[in-house]
Structure 1
Amino acid sequence: MRWLRRVGIALATVLVVLLALAGLVLLWDRIAPVHVAAPPPALTVDAAGVATQVEHWPAATPSGKPPLVLVPGFAESTYVFSRVAPLLAADRDVYAYDVRGYGFTAHVPPYSLDADTDQLAGVIVALGLRRPVVVGHSLGAAIALSLALRDPAAVAGVVAANGDGTPYFGGDRTSTGGGGLRVVLTLPPVGPAVVTAVVRSRGIVRQIVAAQCGPGCPTDDAAIDRWRAPFLTPGGVTALLAIAREPLIGLTDDQERAVRTPTAVLSSGDDASFDHTAALATADRLHTSLVAELPGARHLALLGEPDRFAAALVPLLDRLG
């Protein structure tokens, strides 16, 4: 009993210290907030009731090809497409938008696949696009494929890039992972304090980006601030944590098998979250033979190696179109 009492006292002490530190971090952030120079607001459209930021790269040489709509993934903004989009816009219009809760789009729940799909459909309508090809990066692939499943006539094709469009991990095709532990870790005040401390630090964000992006990725202060800026705006951290507490969005394997819109899959060889084996399995579910791989590239190859990424993506787009 004496041993248990000592363990209980130790745990209680750790908890009190942890809560106190979290409170100090949040108080520090309120007293001395970090301000970074964000790019000027891009086009804002009403997408299914969500004020949505959209970036547009007009075609350098219009060719009549279907326009592209680019969907970023978890914790990403349109910035992730900033280096590859101009290359893709050589002969077609290219658009990218911030998914609800991320970037500079309004923080409007619910943060669910249905709501995200509504927003994508709303973006297409608001921009007056006719059957674009949608490229979803990472978690954005789920949103793109969800619209293709819901309304096949809305899109000409979908590319799943660096993501399989499902909430599953590895060989377990029944569990989305995280669960209760993810909810506990994101609750206040510890969750907000940890994320706030991370986004306030250029050094930590630089390490995260470099690990996912590779040696070709911009990691100067201005580039890192492009990553940090959305989360340093009012409500940015709160929205990120609210999304993280929700189950991961994605289609089931059977739902992917029901997609009949033309699709393609693009992976990176050194992407731990979506390698070539996972890409082939995704292509099999989607009934497509259009699969490309970037050997040696990482998850954010579209930002770190835009030339290679575009060179692999364009042939897939042409065959879809």
Structure 2
Amino acid sequence: MRRGLGRWARRVGLTLLVLVALVFVVSGAYLGWDRLDPVRLAVVPPGSTVDAAGVRTHVEHWPAAHPSGRAPLVLVHGFAESTYVWSRVAPLLAADRDVYAYDVRDSGFTDRVPPYDLAADTDQLAGVVAALGLDRPVVVGHSSGVAIALSLALRAPASIRGVVAANGDGTPYFGGDARDGAGSGGGARWLLVDPVAPAVVTAVVRHRAPIRSIVAAQCGPGCPVDDAAIDRWRAPFLEPGAVDALVTVLRSPLIGLTDAQERAVTVPTAIVYCSEDGSFGRAEALAMAERLHTERVVELPGARHLALLGDPERFAATLRPEIDALGGR
């Protein structure tokens, strides 16, 4: 009986070993083919570039339609996003003030310049504010971009008027403390090995269907999912070095502040969350508000994580009073 079990175990082990080897071989071959026949999209993003703390950074600017002297806005996107996520809501926010958005150093059409960590991301945001000559703007962060906005508020509170946190709590663990281990990236990170991880990411971004599915699920029925819109999402990830940068970020701990750091933030803050956002809801928003010592917590009913793109009119209407309350007048 034991001999039979031993033979069975050896066969299973050998089969698994062969399958793993096959996955590695196929992944390497796929990456080799991709290098010989790369996909490149003729997407030219609007905007310009500035040097932000040594990083050539893509920036978009929406001038105020009716200048009022109100403080400018700087918009910070989240993980695997770009300035494109602000493209529908930014013109609405620019009704009476200048609005700027930029691509974080691991995303969009900004140069990929490691390290991809919160300190470097904060340097870049400070560099953007300085390069554009902005006088104490209000910073709006979306998803993981909230961490970057709050990090600058903690480091240089006199440089900004306030922070609006949209669909993210600025921590890598969504309401728990760092000691729970959730900020480490999870137990599945061992799967992110070469050449498997780059091959999987490459396969995803080479095709519209998976991107369309992800965007539609996070965005809702009002989101543009035509080919041109999906290509706006894909194009930055098809730039040379983009997949390698994304895989590096996926292998790293999620960026974020600790609970204690958030409690030390002194600039005015406001929190916006969407009722249908599975990653950041009412409980997380209220816990964050306690840490930030703010009573400004607003819900956008019936909206999802990417409401800024899928429901820009309501998203802008929800943001505007919070921006004004933070000294944006």
Q: TM-score range by the shorter chain?
A: over 0.9
Matching residue within 202, 207, 229 for 2:208: 202
Q: How many residues align?
A: 321
Aligned partner of 1:284 in structure 2 is 290
Deviation at 1:178, TM superposition (A): 5.4
Matched, 1:318 2:321: no
Larger Rg: 2
Aligned partner of 1:59 in structure 2 is 64
> 1:172/1:157 Cα in 2 relative to 1: closer, same or farther (>3 Å)?
closer
CA distance in 1, matches of 2:152, 2:45: 30
Aligned partner of 1:95 in structure 2 is 100
Q: Note if contact 2:185-2:254 (Cα within 8 Å) is conserved in structure 1.
A: no
Deviation at 1:28, TM superposition (A): 2.3
**Residue aligned with 2:225, SS:** coil
CA distance in 2, matches of 1:116, 1:303: 23
Matched, 1:165 2:165: no
> 1:44/1:304 Cα in 2 relative to 1: closer, same or farther (>3 Å)?
same
Q: Note if contact 1:37-1:225 (Cα within 8 Å) is conserved in structure 2.
A: no
Matching residue within 9, 12, 20 for 1:15: 20
**TM-score of the superposed pair, with normalisation by structure 1:** 0.97
Aligned pairs for 1:237-276 within 5 A: 237-276=243-282
CA distance in 1, matches of 2:129, 2:183: 32
Which sits farther off after the overlay, 94-103 or 166-175? Answer: 166-175
Q: Note if contact 2:175-2:288 (Cα within 8 Å) is conserved in structure 1.
A: no
Which sits farther off after the overlay, 28-37 or 94-103? Answer: 28-37
CA distance in 2, matches of 1:97, 1:305: 21
Matching residue within 80, 83, 89 for 2:88: 83
Aligned partner of 2:3 in structure 1 is none
Question: Once superposed, what is the RMSD of the aligned Cα atoms?
Answer: 1.3
**Residue aligned with 1:134, SS:** strand
CA distance in 2, matches of 1:310, 1:180: 34
Deviation at 1:41, TM superposition (A): 5.5
Which sits farther off after the overlay, 38-47 or 124-133? Answer: 38-47
Matching residue within 24, 28, 31 for 2:29: 24
CA distance in 2, matches of 1:315, 1:155: 17
Which sits farther off after the overlay, 35-44 or 288-297? Answer: 35-44
CA distance in 2, matches of 1:62, 1:300: 28
Q: Note if contact 2:88-2:309 (Cα within 8 Å) is conserved in structure 1.
A: yes
CA distance in 1, matches of 2:38, 2:46: 21
**What letter is aligned with 1:293?**
E
Deviation at 1:235, TM superposition (A): 0.4
CA distance in 1, matches of 2:137, 2:306: 23
CA distance in 1, matches of 2:112, 2:266: 32
Q: Note if contact 1:270-1:296 (Cα within 8 Å) is conserved in structure 2.
A: yes
> Which stretches in structure 1 are left out of the alignment for 5+ residues?
none
Matched, 1:133 2:132: no
> Which stretches in structure 2 are left out of the alignment for 5+ residues?
1-5
1:171-205 Cα shifts (integer Å, max 9, x gaps): 56532355474432222100000000000110110
Aligned partner of 1:35 in structure 2 is 40
